[in-house]
Structure 1
Amino acid sequence: MKLLSTLFLLASAAAPAFAQSATVNGEWALHLNVSGNEADDTCTFKQDGEKLTGTCKTFTNVTGKIAGDVITLDLTGSQATLGVSAKLEDHKIVGTVLVKEYGMEGSFTATQAK
């Protein structure tokens, strides 16, 4: 019984470490749909702890953070800044996007390149 209790404690302690091991480093294919206007882009994200940065073909500045499976991003382009609130799910990022200058919302998905 003592061995079982010890194994349970070790597994419980390791679970948060496994949850934190998700990474978004690398290339991602983005798809946005805002009020029926669809757009695609390719971005490369770099994760340093909880901090996210990156570059895209369309957006000149990418900043954000990841906490567990929750991701927030600001994608800044020449005409607008998009705020993304999403979750990391099976090598996909799924959530919502807000075009800050116009108050328009839509869907956001990103799929990690293989």
Structure 2
Amino acid sequence: MMSKTIAVIAAMAVAATANPTIGYAGYFYTNCTVPSIDAANAYAGSCVNVEDFPIKSFTAYVESGSCADGTSAVFNTYTAAGCGDSDLSETVSVTTEKQCFEADATLYSIMAECV
């Protein structure tokens, strides 16, 4: 019985610090003026390829999950598929509040991280 209790407590601790999922939408116009032309969810540590549309702005926010204590969520955008370090376009800090970021770029991939 004791091992089951410990397993449940451990599972709850993992769930409480689940890696963040970041919602993304790319816009053809500045100031995140609708309509968005691309949308995806970025998961911590996983590269997500997106449509290669030229955008002028994008929104990003933490949809669910959170980072461990002492770290915070960031959203990385890349100018090539595969999220290679040499293709990093921009890194922005994100919270649960949807924020608009200006970006005159064609993005090919995105990734969330806790730093």
Bin the TM-score by the shorter chain: 0.3 to 0.5
Higher-strand-fraction structure: 1
Kindly indicate whether structure 1 or structure 2 has the higher relative contact order, using CA contacts under 8 Å at least 6 residues apart: 2
- Structure 1 length as normaliser, TM-score? 0.36
- Structure 2 length as normaliser, TM-score? 0.36
The structure number with the bigger radius of gyration is: 1
